[in-house]
Structure 1
Amino acid sequence: MNIPTQYLPLMPYLILNEASAFLQFMKTVFNATEQLLVPADNNKIRHGELRIGEAVIMFADATEQWQEKPAGMYVYVAQVPETYAKALAQGATSLMEPHTQEYGFTAGFKDAFGNDWWIVEPEKE
Structure 2
Amino acid sequence: MNIPSQYLPLMPYLIVNRAEAFAQFMKNVFGATDQALHKANENTVMHGELRIGQAVLMYSDASEAWPEKTAALYLYVPDVNQVYEKALAQGAKVLHTPEQKEYGYAAGFADPFGNHWFVVAASAAKG
Question: Which bin holds the TM-score, normalised by the shorter protein?
Answer: over 0.9
SS at match of 2:113: coil
5+ residue gaps, structure 1, are none
For the residues of structure 1 that align with 2:123 and 2:21, how far apart are their CA atoms?
32
Give the root-mean-square deviation of aligned CA atoms. Answer: 1.0
Map 1:1-125 to 2 at 5 A: 1-124=1-124
Identity of aligned residues (%): 58
The residue identity in structure 2 corresponding to 1:73 is L
Give, in whole Å, the separation in 2 of the partners of 1:124 and 1:102: 11
One-letter amino acid matched to 2:103: Y
The secondary structure found in structure 2 opposite 1:40 is strand
Aligned residues: 125
Structure 2 counterpart of 1:63, one-letter code? S
Amino acid at match of 2:86: K
The AA in structure 1 aligned to 2:7 is Y
The answer on whether the counterparts of 2:104 and 2:124 sit within 8 Å (CA) in structure 1 is no
Using the alignment, how far apart are the partners of 1:40 and 1:76 within structure 2? 32
Q: TM-score, normalised by structure 1?
A: 0.97
Runs of 4+ in 1 over 6 A off after TM superposition: none
